Amino acid sequence: MNVNATKEHILRLFREAGLGEYEKEFEQYITPSIRMETMQASDEEIMVGETKIGGNPDLPPDYTWPRWKTYPMSFIAQINLASLSKEVLQHYDIPSKGILSFFYTAHPDAMYGNKCELFYRSKDTAKVFYFDDQQTLTRTAAPFEQHEEFWFKPCKVKYIVDWTIPGSETYEISKGLGMGWNHNREVFDKYCFVFQSRFIDKFHNRSQWHEPIHRFLGNHDPVQSGYVDGDHNLLLQIDSDNLVGTMWGDTGRIYFFGCIEKLKRINVADAYAVMECT
């Protein structure tokens, strides 16, 4: 993937697609993201507090392991904010220190059992925690038998800064710019089939398009419609990835959304997750 895209590059493509009259409104939706490439490692090779996907989390000693109903949640990832690009942190005005820890109910009986409709209607199937830099963290194994289906292999990550655009069927395009399949269709086709296609051609390597895309912040990469209400931001996107051992439905993705508020805080109590697959 070409990681040298800037807002100016993106806006130029936007104008060339015949969308110049929407440029001012669209510019606010071009957002930076931390894309994370996974590198398999043992938990022992990953320092306590280091950004990681999978493995065992680093938690305060007295922390209660999260559950949804009777199902223990799976540890998904932790993000060390101090290790991130200052460019990205400043854009979102979030803390520059501390750890964000992400959990999701990946137990197959919950996700695919005969009562799975309850699972997909619930916004309590995921938890996000914030630990400040004053808290002592300890590498913590789950307090239950770690079945292969919902315990994921530890991976280190390599950061790449991406500038991202909203998917064609997202809130930003439908409500923010007022275009979609059933309204302002001619302009929507320019966004979807001209601008978005050129963006992928120019800034993505199509031969690698099916490689996992994990990202922290930015616009998410929807598998389906990608519609999220405007009060919530992408916190974390985790793809199906053989290195981690994640398989979300049929090569899908999970997305953690939350409200990034002013005064340098993320409202982790408001966070929830959704899964999309083909």
- pLDDT tens-digit series, residues 66-88: 999 989 999 999 999 999 988 88
Can you tell me the distance from the alpha carbon of 268 to that of 272, in angstroms, rounded to the nearest whole number?
A: 9
Tallying the residues shown for the chain, one arrives at 278
Q: Phi/psi class of residue 264: alpha, beta or left (left: φ > 0; alpha: ψ in -120 to 50)?
A: left
Mean pLDDT of 152-168: 93
Q: Is residue 104 within 8 Å of residue 21, measured between CB atoms?
A: no
The stretch 101-128 carries a mean pLDDT of 90
pLDDT of res. 2: 43
Q: What is the mean pLDDT of the chain?
A: 88
Hey, how many other C-beta atoms are within 10 angstroms of the C-beta on 237?
Answer: 24
CA distance 140 to 129: 15
Please state the pTM of the whole predicted model. Answer: 0.91
